[in-house]
Structure 1
Amino acid sequence: MNTILPISSESLIPDMSQNPETHQTSYTFNLDYGGDGQVKGFCDELAAMRQAIYKIINTERYQYPIYSWDYGIELADLFGKPIPYVYAELQRRITEALMTDDRINSVTGFEFSNSGIGGGDVLVKFNVDTIFGTISAQKEVTGVV
């Protein structure tokens, strides 16, 4: 039995220079956030984008060494700030965090509300336009003011 081995490892690396517009696939593991937190199969396109949005806006930037410094959102410094400032910063920071994903076209339709003791909880709802369709999302920040 004769086995032919490559002469160098360069032949094992695909040539991506032919198509610089290659995008990463959206096919990924399906995480069950609402249930028991288990991985349950796979998801793709809109379901995968919903999951990616959830992960981005629920991961504090710079806190976890496994993530790039471009991944996640900065929310920790908003605690104790006035509500109008938090509204403006949340819109900017959510947009900035999500737009790092090249599958997201825009983040629009921000709606804010606040509740809790002394109005210290902020809920923001927004729409994320992706290459697969539009997703409605929300983020709650507690303990502001």
Structure 2
Amino acid sequence: MTEQAETSKTYKLDTVANRIIGLTDGPDAVRQSVFKILQTERYRFFCYSADYGVELEGLVGADPAFVRSEIKRRISEALLQDDRISEVNDFSIEIDADVAKATFTVVSDFRSFREEVRQDV
């Protein structure tokens, strides 16, 4: 028996109007998953498993050197929980006053794309 990959079809979100506007699949579904994971603080919502979301709020008030090392690890760990994502690389991290900006590449089964996260620190 051969193992068959599951579809990535899911509801398409309009993040501006906060509505579901149909269905999405493939690379757009992965990009939406990345957005949702990075917008969800891990352990905050009981409807998600303990593996879902990212832990960034704990970086608030931390030393910038600690933030630089941890933000990469925490983002990678969160996104690699999605089986369609094989790698998170090419990080660029800037810390300006009390905001950290991490830009990175997400490598998925469909294609690679750049993503950015801003977090108060």
- TM-score per shorter chain, which class? over 0.9
Residue 23 (structure 1) aligns with = 5
Residue 87 (structure 1) aligns with = 68
Query: Shift in Å at residue 112 of structure 1?
Result: 1.1
Query: Shift in Å at residue 111 of structure 1?
Result: 0.6
Residue 111 (structure 1) aligns with = 92
5+ unaligned residues in a row in structure 1: which ranges?
Answer: 1-17
Counterpart code for 2:46: P
More strand by share: 2
Residue 5 (structure 1) aligns with = none
Residue 118 (structure 2) aligns with = 140
Moved segments of 4+, more than 6 Å: none
CA distance in 2, matches of 1:53, 1:28: 13
CA distance in 2, matches of 1:124, 1:93: 11
Question: How does 1:26-45 map onto structure 2 within 5 Å?
Answer: 26-33=8-15, 35-45=16-26
Deviations 1:85-120 (A, max 9, x none): 1111000011111111111110011011122xxx11
Larger radius of gyration: 1
Q: State the TM-score, normalized to the length of structure 2.
A: 0.94
5+ unaligned residues in a row in structure 2: which ranges?
Answer: none
CA distance in 1, matches of 2:40, 2:5: 23
